[in-house]
Structure 1
Amino acid sequence: MQTLIYFLFVVMALSGVISSSQADLKLNYYAETCPKAEKIVLDYVHEHIPNAPTLAATFIRMHFHDCFVRGCDASVLLNFTSSSGNQTEKTAVPNQTLRGFGFIDSVKSLIEAECPGVVSCADIIALVARDSIVVTGGPYWKVPTGRRDGTISNASEALANIPAPNFNFSALQTSFVNKGLDLKDLVLLSGAHTIGIAHCPAFTSRLYNFSGIPGKEDPSLDSEYAENLKEKKCKSINDNTTIVEMDPGSFRTFDLSYYSLLLKRRGLFESDSALTKNSITLSYIKKLLQGSLQDFFQEFALSMEKMGSIQVLTGSAGEIRKHCAFVNS
């Protein structure tokens, strides 16, 4: 009982932090200082994402990874800070497969040409993530702006804060609670796995070395699906190059297929499978599948709005970087 009370206290306290931060953000924050900013982002996304639609999954992942480390402050974009000794978040294992940094830099350059030193890289990530998902047929969510950029980026913090694909339910719950997010947010944000791809090292232990036992397969993984992964995709535990669709047959479409696969024991990651092993998260999954796609979009939007407000820097905190990959000199 004491543990439950403590858990609820932590959730309430962290939720208060997020609410306070969110109050400092507002829609159309740049209406007077850079009125064309959001249109510049949207136009660039509309011009380029249709030719590279898989980047939509990349940018929502980038946004997620950024917000889970020091809050949504664009620290994931930094190449070097004096405090990190060049071991920035980019170099951490969870971020080594991130891409699209050049895309963000291009958007930043366009906005800097319009209004120098006004729009943060953190806001650009948030806007690009949303607009990329929308232009590829996914949900729309509100993106209040006014974030400022951080000046610290450490690989060790990324490794410690970004939920890993081999997390069990307890680890996932703790990770999300620490950011002021609840179990419903966990289920909904995991739904972003309905698009995109993964590299074999993120899950091959489930196929070849489960629980550290050579040759053992994760019994919670559908055997037919596991066999298909081994025969046609990741043919050895040492395969570091092959990519696999996270939502086979539907990985370009933002839909409910991901949740259907979870109930068939075909979630690619252990962290996906973990969502079915708790009665609360399992009930959320079933409720989503009983509802409409539009219901899912609306719920997903609310969780994205919460996530985008985690520990944001506002006011005089942080800075507005001139270049997203470097702190201002």
Structure 2
Amino acid sequence: MASQKFFSIVLYAFVFAAFATTALSSLSPNYYDYSCPKALSTIKSVVAAAVQKEYRMGASLLRLHFHDCFVNGCDGSILLDPSPTIDSEKNALPNFQSARGFEVVDAIKEAVDEACGKPVVSCADILAVAARDSVVALGGPTWEVKLGRRDSTTASREAANANIPAPFFSLSELIDNFKSHGLNEKDLVILSGGHTIGNARCATFRDHIYNDSNISPHFAKELKHICPRKGGDLNLAPLDRTAAKFDSAYFGDLVHKKGVLHSDQELFNGGSTDSLVKSYSHNTKAFHKDFAKSMIKMGNIKPLIGNRGEIRLNCRKVN
């Protein structure tokens, strides 16, 4: 009888430990339900106000999440400012003078910490939810964001330069890059569809409009008014014809050789991704549905969970 009771206690302890380990080692959409039930609604309200004030901010928050996840997983490392111990990813070539939205993240963090009564929501989770809410605010799909990421205590400009897809990449380079992050060709096309909102700097598309042949001559001429051969590096052009709306116009533009970036037009240039681009160009509903799935997949790239990392008090610096 005593041995049976002892066995029951041991079994209970084992099951409890296994449950606790599982809870600490996985993401969950309900992660903050008890520690801060107002977290998600607070993030949504701050993002909605920011996007209403300036639609480009929605694209900026989405891009920050992309660039964060593509470096060393979705760990908030892109938010860290330079310091004696931090080689900030903000200074990497894909981000320098391009990455925006940091002030909005700061505002979200302040509002969420106030709503929670203490810092319990990570900056990485804030960025993941803000990206989703930005897409929704601009007419795109919603999806269930799994939460529980912790914040990185390091950053790497070198890793950002090496891992964030460049605007001059060929299709094969894009495919290899996405594959290295556990994403396939379909994810590549779908997530590139995030370019249906926002703008690109002249410096990122100058070579495409002056040197490439796979671009509509009339469209290239329009862009040359924005982007001269010399100077004007920071001049902006919309990434598709409805850059303030999360629709499938981006894909239609590619079909008509009106991709702003070289890497965009590579998705419809006689290669393996042409059929997907053409399909999404006339099926916004399918694009929205698949975009949500790929965003969930991307958001789960190597998150810091359990006791790794930290919950930053300030998204710009380690504790």
One-letter amino acid matched to 1:68: F
Q: 1:191-237: CA deviations, max 9, x gaps?
A: 111110011000101234xxxxxxxx21111111112211x211223
Q: What is the aligned counterpart of 1:120 among 97, 119, 122? A: 122
**Structure 1 pair 252–309 and aligned structure 2 pair: CA distance change class (3 A):** same
Contact 1:81 1:153 in 2 (8 A): no
Q: Does 1:262 align with 2:263?
A: no
**Structure 1 pair 99–288 and aligned structure 2 pair: CA distance change class (3 A):** same
Offset, 1:290: 4.2
Tell me the residue number matched to 1:163: 165
Q: Which has the higher contact order (CA 8 A, sep 6+)?
A: 1
- Aligned equivalents of 1:180, 1:46: Cα separation in 2: 31
One-letter amino acid matched to 1:305: I
Offset, 1:83: 4.0
Moved over 6 A (4+): 20-23
Of 87-96 and 74-83, more deviation after overlay is shown by 74-83
Contact 2:25 2:306 in 1 (8 A): no
Contact 1:163 1:175 in 2 (8 A): yes
Offset, 1:21: 12
Unaligned stretches of 5+ residues in structure 1? 1-19, 209-216
Larger radius of gyration: 2
Offset, 1:164: 0.4
What is the correspondence of 1:181-192 to structure 2 with a 5 Å cutoff?
181-192=183-194
Tell me the residue number matched to 1:212: none
Q: Does 1:218 align with 2:212?
A: yes
One-letter amino acid matched to 1:173: I
**Structure 1 pair 80–228 and aligned structure 2 pair: CA distance change class (3 A):** closer
What is the correspondence of 1:86-165 to structure 2 with a 5 Å cutoff?
87-96=87-96, 97-113=98-114, 114-165=116-167
Offset, 1:47: 3.0
**Structure 1 pair 147–167 and aligned structure 2 pair: CA distance change class (3 A):** same
Contact 1:169 1:278 in 2 (8 A): no
Tell me the residue number matched to 2:293: 302
- TM-score calculated relative to the size of structure 1: 0.86
Counting matched residue pairs gives: 296
The percent of aligned pairs where both chains have the same amino acid is 41
In structure 1, the residue corresponding to 2:237 is in which secondary structure? strand
Unaligned stretches of 5+ residues in structure 2? 1-21
Tell me the residue number matched to 1:214: none
One-letter amino acid matched to 1:78: L
- Aligned equivalents of 1:136, 1:223: Cα separation in 2: 30
Contact 1:121 1:324 in 2 (8 A): yes
Contact 1:21 1:311 in 2 (8 A): no
What's the Cα RMSD here?
1.8
Contact 2:47 2:104 in 1 (8 A): no
Q: 1:218-276: CA deviations, max 9, x gaps?
A: 1111111112211x21122332121111103x111111111111111111111111111
Q: What is the aligned counterpart of 1:286 among 278, 281, 293? A: 278
Tell me the residue number matched to 1:36: 38
In structure 2, the residue corresponding to 1:95 is in which secondary structure? coil
One-letter amino acid matched to 1:178: S
